[in-house]
Structure 1
């Protein structure tokens, strides 16, 4: 069947308008009728670009030198391949949202494509990814604080000491921000993420060029055994797709969103590749999972990079876990608006991330697992599958179908081999 022109759909042979999915679309439209005015959007092109860059440029930039060291110089080709695939899947998310005006969020796309099971699947991948990224923030903070003040030792009941106690201190500092109901202030603070990434990049360049470290390492051309780890960490850098529906809904001129994606992916990929090359040339195979752990502490540029790395996760942690808190509260509608219940859920969530951070204190391996299993699934595989189902493109074997099928196969291969390698590394360190 073909879509009615009044629905604003331009996809060929959509499955959206059969009896079952038409009812689903009507239900989505009714459930979100209060948000109808949001469809117009009021955010400018440049503000949307800034928000997109803030979503794409995260702590993954610290691990790109380690990823390059794991896979060798030729693994940079895989970074660009993943960037292209992630960009294309971002365009597919845009097309899915154009299929019906009721779609506002990523889970909406999953439900429109595959019903309730699709919504649950997309939501599970989203929330687990956010949970583990927040856990990675705690590990990152603990590692860098321990690097700055290695002589600081605490002993808590004989079970927790040293770097683990620093993770607990960071969690206590973060906890009040998670209790806030209005995170608008934190939203403005977290918008500094783009600036922070730029400061880190410039500081490390300065350390290598002017503070005596130099760019003298040659590295390895290819390391086949480390390719799964490299690809998994590269994938983690492009895990912003759950945010794209929100950005698309908010932009004033919808036709400009593809240009937003082009600009954001080009700039973020240049940043990731530059950091990977600089870090590998500076420290070679000795580079650690976070390049800040290799920096000489006596240099001002190094301290600027480390302090910037410390501040950035503190401002983003609450924003990462807020969707999880809201989803947890929705499971208990009778207590949803009760302040003590909200505080309890937030506190338990922070405690759970602390437990995981203390149990699996391996930033590189954990982010590799997130990239291989969750980022690839949520950012590449699921958008492709949802688009094929909503548009009906899978019915014909054309160029688009072959392209999407190739991306899905690549994503599945990365997910299988990367997840296996990451789990083996984590269990090997426990």
Structure 2
């Protein structure tokens, strides 16, 4: 994966007020104008707001009451609040670093990694983790979309309909992506993204208001569900991963910022940060009520997807599940776009394929089909969240930005910036080590009773 910025920046940037010499050939300019991340740079700040909401408020929000039940009241609330603050801080760092070199833009996470750690090492550190996150999210969203469609079907039909396997619902959900994944770039999916952001706010509100309306359940218990200490500890670790998964927007933040125009007088970080702050306020409005109310009402009996715990009123729950489907369609696209960009960059720049509709058609459809197939094989929702959450989300969200910041800005030892970054790194590393352990155990436990292609 070549860092295109070494050759100067796309002509869009010259129009945007950067007058640096562009040393690239016409062919290279044409390729940059074709690739999904660099092809369009006319986004407004509110595009950044709803792309960020769509990327951040995943269906993970619905598993937060379950995570809270495994963490307990005190630790659970602390983990939620600390995660919100730490990830907002690391997101601010990434927005700042996007244009830290005058006249140059780090349009992709790995380009910033290459600037911080060197050409080769930067790629090896960032790309595998970013791919695990983005592909992992896409697989989990295939499962979520399928499960929500199934729930919608079951609620609307009641007992009068025949039971349909989850596999078929995942396929129905995937069919939307065989169409939508051919939208060329991030700006072109802004309409889908806006719909998704509105839906996420809607179903989060439905989830916690319906739970509150239901009232605290009889015999509700707030103790840990696992019978043994070992089980409790493993569940605690897994829940940490669920929370980490809930804050995964960092993996697409530079790519989103790349779509915003920039000049030396008006750098892109201004509108981008405005969008991020709005997005984080929406995130708080979605996350905290769902987590606290869901756990308060159901205690440790809450399902790993809050909407599955709620059955009445039927029309409202059916609607909420449909909202989840629309939202997850948008989220899938926001996370898939950087993956498409990576695949297409390698094919066109390294393997010298000609940029064409056919190339895009084959690669993108293959990717959608692959994520669909894996989702059908492994639909263990919460365990997958815990496993992926710690394994790759913790580094890219909680501490990689801090390491980059320390290596590039070199703040003074024991200064506030230095201390803050090291605290975030310590929290992130412990999260990365602990949560996959819990997540893997719950996958193993669930796998015992699971039948393939059920």
Q: Which category of TM-score, normalised to the shorter sequence, fits these structures?
A: 0.7 to 0.9
In the alignment, is residue 412 of structure 1 matched against residue 415 of structure 2? no
Q: Is the 8 A contact 1:292 1:302 kept in 2?
A: yes
Pair 1:388-2:392 in alignment: no
Q: 1:425: which partner in 2?
A: 442
Q: CA deviation at 1:183?
A: 6.6
2:158 is matched with which residue? none
Please report how far the alpha carbon of residue 103 of structure 1 lies from its aligned counterpart in structure 2 after TM superposition. 2.7
Asked if structure 2 preserves the Cα contact closer than 8 Å seen for 1:72 and 1:219, the reply is no
1:82 aligns with 2:80: no
Aligned match of 2:311: 296
Q: What's the counterpart of residue 188 of structure 1? A: 191
Say if 1:38 and 1:170 are closer, same or farther in 2 by CA, change over 3 A: farther
CA distance in 2, matches of 1:216, 1:191: 35
Aligned pair in 2 of structure 1 residues 264, 219: CA closer, same or farther (>3 Å)? farther
Say if 1:70 and 1:226, in contact at 8 Å, map to a contact too. Answer: yes
The secondary structure found in structure 2 opposite 1:130 is: helix
Q: Unmatched 5+ residue regions in structure 2? A: 18-40, 155-160, 225-231, 448-454
Q: Distance in 1 between matches of 2:16 and 2:413?
A: 32
1:359-403 CA deviation, whole Å, 9 max, x = no partner? 22111111222221221111121101111111123x634332222
The whole-number CA distance in structure 1 between the counterparts of 2:216 and 2:204 is 15
How far does residue 261 in structure 1 lie from its aligned partner after superposition?
4.0
TM-score w.r.t. the length of structure 2 is: 0.78
The gaps in structure 1 that reach 5 residues or longer are 1-23, 155-161
Residue 164 of structure 1 and its aligned partner are, at CA, apart by: 1.6
Which residue does 2:67 correspond to in 1? 67
Q: Within 2, Cα distance between the matches of 1:348 and 1:272? A: 34
More divergent stretch after superposition (328-337 vs 351-360)? 328-337
The 10-residue stretch of structure 1 (44-53 or 185-194) with the greater mean CA deviation from structure 2: 44-53
Q: Give the stretch that moved more between structures: 194-203 or 53-62.
A: 53-62
* 1:91 aligned partner: 92
Taking the aligned partners of 2:77 and 2:192, their CA distance within structure 1 comes to 32
* Residue 28 of structure 1: aligned partner: 5
- Write out aligned runs for 1:279-318 (5 A): 279-296=294-311, 298-318=313-333
Contact 1:203 1:304 in 2 (8 A): no
Contact 1:69–1:219 (CA under 8 A) maintained in structure 2: no
Contact 1:71 1:229 in 2 (8 A): no
Q: Which residue is 2:250 aligned to? A: 241
Deviates more, 1:29-38 or 1:384-393: 29-38
Bigger drift between 273-282 and 263-272 goes to 263-272
In the TM superposition, what whole-angstrom CA distance separates every residue of 1:280-314 from its partner, at most 9, and x where no partner exists?
12322222221121221552221221111122222
Q: Deviations over 1:87-137 (max 9, x none)?
A: 111222233234213133222210110112213421222222111111111
TM-aligned CA distance change 1:35 to 1:114, over 3 Å: farther
Structure 2 match to 1:328: 343
* Structure 1, 378-387 or 44-53: larger mean CA deviation: 44-53
Q: Is 1:57 matched with 2:57?
A: yes
TM-score norm. by structure 1 comes to 0.82
Q: Please tell me whether the aligned partners of residues 60 and 236 of structure 1 are also in contact (alpha carbons under 8 angstroms).
A: yes
Decide which moves more: 174-183 or 235-244.
174-183
**142, 147, 167: which one pairs with 1:164?**
167
C-alpha distance after superposition, 1:303-357 (max 9, x if no partner)? 2211111222223323422322232233222334233332221222122112221
